[in-house]
Amino acid sequence: MQEVNQRRLRYFYNVVVSGSIRGAAEVLNTAPSVITRQLRLLEQELGVKLFERDVSGSKPTEAAQFLLDYWHSSRVLIEILEERIEETQELKRGRVFVALSEGFLDDFVDNVLMRFNRDFPKIELAVNVLSVGEIVEQVASDIVHIGIVFNPPNTPHIKPFLHANVPIRLFASTEHPLAKSKGPVTVAEALRYPIATMPHIFGLGRLTELLAESERTSANVVFTSNSARSIAHFIRNGTAVSFLGSRHVVAEFGDTTLAAIEVKHPLLEGNYANVVARAERTPTKAMSTLIDYIARYSEIFGAP
């Protein structure tokens, strides 16, 4: 087999990611015909067909999946080479891309990222707030290096490095009837009131759905948002309640504006925040150092 042409491999990767030749052409700012020609040459070099056309665009073949794995591995090796060269200069160059759930943003920025940036100002950092599914997908696809995620699904494509228990409570206005309860309330009692929650693609949104299913009922959802902060604002002066992580609320309001109500249910036990990376990836020096900073300085993952 001939040596794989890296330029053609780049065209191939962008077609896979965008799902079509036209989409890849827009990303690369080139003509679709150029990409088509280069893909044809790449198929000739490898002696295999890489894409099948269907109504949704260009669908990768099994051989294309193997080539995609090669692309990921080669990019990782290049990153490792670049950073190992720079390790003797104490991380004076590098990059780390992070995707996380909103509830972890304040802790990460205030306690970890600012300190990391101060100590290693030459390291480029990028942070995106995404849903659980999006975080897992981007970590597994090597779009981001590190994910900080609530209750990620079990998948062989990601590897956990750190985890921490995340208490889930029912939050309501301090004037809400449930806030006057002298002890824990039941899920059934909570679901008698209007619910504010996240879309089901977010961990807390899916958890709310599962709680309702466990009671063989449905939640009366009156407000949906992908922002835990907006949910907390919504329930602060109303009759709605919401299942949220304690840190979502404490970070925004402190401990006085909303009441945290304990609810006894198995689904509310054992919820975890996880720091994850792609399973097949060897962490770069910058990645390892940032994960170490999370373990040392994060209020969620760090030592008490």
Q: What is the pLDDT of residues 3-21, one digit of tens each?
A: 778 889 999 999 998 888 9
Per the structure, the count of domains in the chain is: 3
The verdict on 221 and 279 lying in the same domain is no
Q: What is the pLDDT of residues 291-301, one digit of tens each?
A: 999 999 998 89
Pairing of strands 57-60, 51-54: antiparallel
The verdict on 22 and 63 lying in the same domain is yes
The verdict on 264 and 281 lying in the same domain is no
Instruction: Give the integer Cα–Cα distance in Å for 181 and 170.
Output: 12
Q: Which has the closest alpha carbon to 139: 127, 147, 130, 149?
A: 147
Q: Provide the CA 81 distance to its chain's centre, in angstroms.
A: 26
Q: What is the pLDDT of residues 131-157, one digit of tens each?
A: 889 999 999 999 999 999 988 888 999
Residue 48 falls inside a structural domain: yes
The verdict on 181 and 158 lying in the same domain is no
Question: Domain span at residue 126?
Answer: 90-165+272-297
3-state secondary structure of 257: coil
pTM (2 decimals)?
Answer: 0.71
Pairing of strands 51-54, 94-100: unpaired
Specify the pLDDT at position 247. 61
**CA-to-CA dists, residue 282 to 21, 44, 72, 80, 89, angstroms:** 31, 32, 11, 8, 20
Residue 123 falls inside a structural domain: yes
* Helices and strands (H and E) in the chain: how many: 12, 12
What residue ranges of the chain have pLDDT lower than 70? Answer: 1-2, 55-57, 88-89, 247-256, 303-304
The verdict on 251 and 177 lying in the same domain is yes
The verdict on 248 and 101 lying in the same domain is no
Residue 107 CB contacts under 8 Å (≥ 6 apart), including other chains: 247, 251, 298, 299, 300
The verdict on 172 and 237 lying in the same domain is yes
Residue 304 falls inside a structural domain: no
